[in-house]
């Protein structure tokens, strides 16, 4: 990643790495499982990079998101930015990861230590109950 | 009018399909997809405030006019990164 963004004109490189944390909402997590609306995810990531380039003078930008299972401690997403001066690199890197998390159509399922699996952010008991009921019926 | 409806994450789990060709009738707007899904799964009605819709891979408002052959994706709250 660092070689991809290093250029002779760059004075600073900022890299953000998102990793799977072992806890979420007070519960123990074993891994995160990511899926994406892939063609749109790529398109939105490109739009975010364009927005960053329109805002700050940047050299190189790399955004990578892993799909599938990402166990605790492993990296799921990397954002790397190079620029002539560090101020822009810091600002752009933060913007890129913050915006990726709000806009890119990627979803994660949290696998908990007790064996349960839930879509992140979906603490809607009514919907969970409905999905669980159907899964029980299919199991029978 | 026929559109391809694509569902993801919890929306897919709820409706039980990931992709389906759907006839939404004439002059439909993007929001009509949730109306269609609500017919079989009333829970979708309560989601209008948090679900986004994308047509041909661009986010649109619920009022966006659909066209024959559009790819309409139901986008629950994203959680990448």
Using the predicted structure, report yes or no on whether residue A130 has a pLDDT greater than 90.
no
Section B57-79 average pLDDT: 97
User: Are A118 and A131 contacting, i.e. CB atoms less than 8 angstroms apart?
Assistant: no
Question: Mean pLDDT in chain B?
Answer: 95
Q: Using CA atoms, how far apart are residues B7 and A4, in angstroms rounded to an integer?
A: 35
A102 CA to chain B: closest CA distance, Å? 7
Q: Given this model, what pLDDT does residue A138 score?
A: 45
Contact B9 A107 (CB under 8 A): yes
| pLDDT tens-digit map of A5-19 | 999 999 999 999 999
pTM > 0.80: yes or no:
yes
Query: Quick one: pLDDT band at residue A1, thresholds 50, 70, 90?
Result: confident
B41 to chain A: which residues are within 8 Å by CB? 130
Closest residue in A to B77 (Cα–Cα): A121
Section B36-55 average pLDDT: 92
Share of chain A above pLDDT 70, in %: 86
């Amino acid at each position: 990643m660092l070689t991809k963004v290093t250029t002779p004109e760059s004075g600073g490189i900022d890299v953000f790495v998102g990793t799977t944390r072992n806890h979420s909402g007070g519960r123990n997590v074993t891994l995160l499982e990511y899926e994406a609306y892939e063609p749109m995810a790529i398109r939105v990531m490109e739009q975010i990079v364009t927005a960053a380039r329109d805002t700050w003078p940047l050299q190189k930008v790399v955004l990578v998101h892993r799909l599938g299972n990402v166990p605790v401690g492993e990296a799921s997403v990397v954002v790397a930015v190079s620029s002539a001066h560090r101020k822009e690199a810091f600002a752009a890197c933060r913007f890129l990861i913050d915006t990726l998390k709000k806009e890119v159509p990627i979803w994660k399922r949290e696998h908990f230590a007790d064996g349960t699996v839930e879509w992140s952010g979906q603490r809607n008991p009514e919907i969970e109950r409905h999905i669980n009921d159907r899964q029980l019926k299919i199991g029978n | 009018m026929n559109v391809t409806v694509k569902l993801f994450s919890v929306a897919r789990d709820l409706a039980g399909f990931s992709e389906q060709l759907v006839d939404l009738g004439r002059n439909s707007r993007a929001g009509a997809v949730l109306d269609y899904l609500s017919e079989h799964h009333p829970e979708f009605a309560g989601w209008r405030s948090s679900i986004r819709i994308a047509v041909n891979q661009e986010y649109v408002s619920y009022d966006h006019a659909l066209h024959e052959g559009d790819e309409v994706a139901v986008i629950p709250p994203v959680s990448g990164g």
